[in-house]
């Protein structure tokens, strides 16, 4: 799903006396599940909606929203942070998506070539995003958008963000003549073929079929044109690919890897990095980062500026690697030379324990949040490098055992 990149719009004035009441009501609703607390939150949202100048029928629609406890549960356990790269990647880059993606590349060639000319985003990437987000429209989500966004607006974790998304979703109903009762999407409120959040729908939605409205559910031209517009706005570089699989020498210094450790291609070449077919990296004057998402025993990737653009759509490195490789496969490329090995994933409590131990040892993993993000990966690399190990930043059960962490 698209996670908005630009700052969200500021709502119209809300009484400062009302803000503590709003957030207290939201917190109680999410943590206790009380109907009275949820109703109080709805009332406060309606006051904000009126202050924002929303139409009366949209303010009234808020009273119909339902509190979905499952949505809050899903918000706490996103798969980008709990699955191994093998599990994530193999479930998304599938034979079906490759085959179907190639068919759709041909079927929508006139539209896609038009978008390439106007926005500079190659067709295979647009089809790959479409495939990962909704299986090419096969699954657009079944959770009522009003319910999911209201539930999350009344939850304390990201209340302000989802409150703004909720109001934008309601405003889209009038602007694009949408049927609120039929608006369904993901648990987080992402909607349509390419799973735009309402703020992205509002900012980047384009009428691709010329009917005077933007319909990301019913119009594939609208959805793909909007996706191309979004990627261009995020800084897509037309002449550059996302990245590529590479091979490394046996003595490669893995502590140089990581998304935040960018180097010129010439420097990676000096360190022995080659294309998987043994060829050189070339002489383009561009920077790249080296990722080893399954550790030294798995595939290795050099990623360029467009990889960062993909991550502005979804902040998961696993997602961006999947989009990039699926796009390559749709465009006729072969499979990875080195498949990601199947390993046991780590439980949230195990990752939290690992982060605490790294911090105790003087290696800063960032927040103790149970998520294997870039900061934790860098801390693991620093620890491994300091102790004379292969510093690939990979967290597995062997690392936990070495640090004396009990397995769940």
Q: Where along the chain do its domains lie?
A: 19-76+141-233, 348-402
Tokens of 274: 């080659």
pLDDT score of 8 more than 80 = no
Q: Report which of residues 359 and 36 the model is more confident about.
A: 359
Angle at alpha carbon of residue 397, lines to 290 and 303, rounded to 5°: 10
Specify the pLDDT at position 197.
96
* Cα gap 41→23, rounded to integer Å: 8
Tokens of 54: 């929303």
Q: Mean pLDDT, to the nearest integer, of 51-73?
A: 95
Contact indicator for 25, 67 with CB cutoff of 8 Å: no
* Cα gap 49→40, rounded to integer Å: 14
Q: Mean pLDDT, to the nearest integer, of 135-158?
A: 96
Specify the pLDDT at position 34.
57
Percentage of residues in the chain having pLDDT higher than 90:
85
Specify the pLDDT at position 158.
93
- Sign (positive or negative) of CA dihedral 154, 155, 160, 165: negative
Architecture of domain 19-76+141-233: Orthogonal Bundle (1.10)
Specify the pLDDT at position 36.
80
Coil, strand or helix at 263: strand
Question: Of 314, 328, 313, 324, whose CA–CA distance to 291 is shortest?
Answer: 324
Specify the pLDDT at position 200.
96
Quick one: which H or E segment has residue 247? Answer: strand 243-247
Tokens of 78: 């996103």
Q: Mean pLDDT, to the nearest integer, of 333-351?
A: 94
Contact indicator for 3, 197 with CB cutoff of 8 Å: yes
Residues constituting the chain: 408
Alpha helices in 142-281 (DSSP H): 145-153, 159-175, 198-204, 220-233, 265-270
Q: How do residues 213-244 score in pLDDT, each as one tens digit?
A: 999 999 999 999 999 999 999 999 998 999 99
Specify the pLDDT at position 337.
96
Neighbours of 26 (CB within 10 A): 27
Rounded to two decimals, what is the model's pTM? Answer: 0.87
Contact indicator for 343, 396 with CB cutoff of 8 Å: yes
Tokens of 391: 């510093």
Question: Of 193, 215, 220, 190, whose CA–CA distance to 205 is shortest?
Answer: 215
Q: Report which of residues 24 and 39 the model is more confident about.
A: 39
Tokens of 67: 């509190």
Q: How do residues 278-299 score in pLDDT, each as one tens digit?
A: 999 998 999 999 999 999 999 9
Tell me what the pLDDT averaged over the chain comes to.
Answer: 90
Specify the pLDDT at position 75.
87
Specify the pLDDT at position 383.
97
Q: Mean pLDDT, to the nearest integer, of 200-207?
A: 97
Tokens of 379: 């801390």
Specify the pLDDT at position 2.
52
Specify the pLDDT at position 404.
97
Q: How do residues 354-405 score in pLDDT, each as one tens digit?
A: 999 999 999 999 999 998 989 999 999 999 999 999 999 999 999 999 999 9
Specify the pLDDT at position 194.
96
* Start-to-end CA span in the chain (Å): 31
Q: How do residues 173-200 score in pLDDT, each as one tens digit?
A: 999 999 998 999 999 999 999 999 999 9
Contact indicator for 272, 252 with CB cutoff of 8 Å: yes
Specify the pLDDT at position 151.
97
């Amino acid at each position: 799903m698209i996670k908005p990149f630009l700052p969200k719009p500021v709502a119209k004035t809300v009484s400062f006396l009302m803000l503590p009441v709003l957030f207290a009501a939201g917190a109680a609703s999410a943590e206790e599940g009380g109907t009275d607390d949820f109703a109080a939150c709805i009332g406060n949202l309606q006051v904000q909606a009126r202050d924002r100048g929303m139409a009366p029928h949209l303010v009234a629609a808020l009273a119909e929203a339902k509190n979905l406890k499952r949505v809050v549960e899903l918000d706490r356990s996103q798969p980008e942070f709990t699955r191994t790269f093998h599990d994530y990647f193999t479930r998304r880059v599938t034979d079906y998506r490759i085959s179907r993606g190639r068919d759709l590349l041909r079927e929508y060639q006139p539209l896609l070539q038009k978008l390439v000319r106007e926005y500079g985003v190659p067709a295979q990437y647009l089809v790959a995003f479409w495939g990962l987000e909704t299986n090419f429209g096969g699954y657009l989500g079944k959770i009522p958008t009003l319910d999911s966004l209201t539930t999350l607006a009344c939850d304390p974790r990201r209340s302000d963000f989802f409150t703004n998304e909720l109001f934008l979703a309601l405003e889209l109903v009038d602007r694009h003549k949408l049927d609120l009762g039929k608006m369904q999407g993901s648990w987080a409120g992402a909607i349509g073929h390419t799973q735009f959040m309402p703020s992205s729908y509002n900012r980047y939605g384009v009428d691709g079929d010329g009917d005077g409205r933007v319909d990301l559910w019913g119009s594939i031209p609208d959805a793909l044109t909007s996706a191309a517009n979004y990627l261009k706005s995020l800084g897509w570089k037309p002449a550059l690919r996302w990245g590529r699989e590479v091979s490394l020498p046996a003595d490669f210094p893995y502590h140089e890897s990581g998304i935040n450790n960018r180097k010129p291609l010439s420097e990676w070449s000096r360190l022995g990095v080659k294309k998987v077919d043994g060829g050189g990296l070339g002489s383009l004057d561009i920077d790249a980062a080296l990722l080893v998402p399954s550790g030294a025993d798995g595939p290795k990737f050099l990623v360029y500026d467009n990889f960062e653009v993909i991550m502005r759509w979804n902040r998961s490195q696993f997602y961006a690697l999947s989009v990039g490789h699926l796009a390559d496969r749709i465009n006729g490329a072969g499979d990875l030379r080195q498949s990601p090995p199947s390993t046991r994933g780590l439980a949230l409590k195990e990752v939290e324990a690992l982060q605490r131990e790294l911090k105790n040892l003087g290696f800063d993993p960032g927040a103790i949040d149970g998520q294997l993000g870039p900061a934790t990966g860098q801390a693991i690399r620093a620890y491994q490098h300091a102790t004379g190990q292969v510093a690939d930043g990979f967290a597995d059960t062997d690392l936990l055992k070495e640090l004396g962490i009990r397995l769940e």
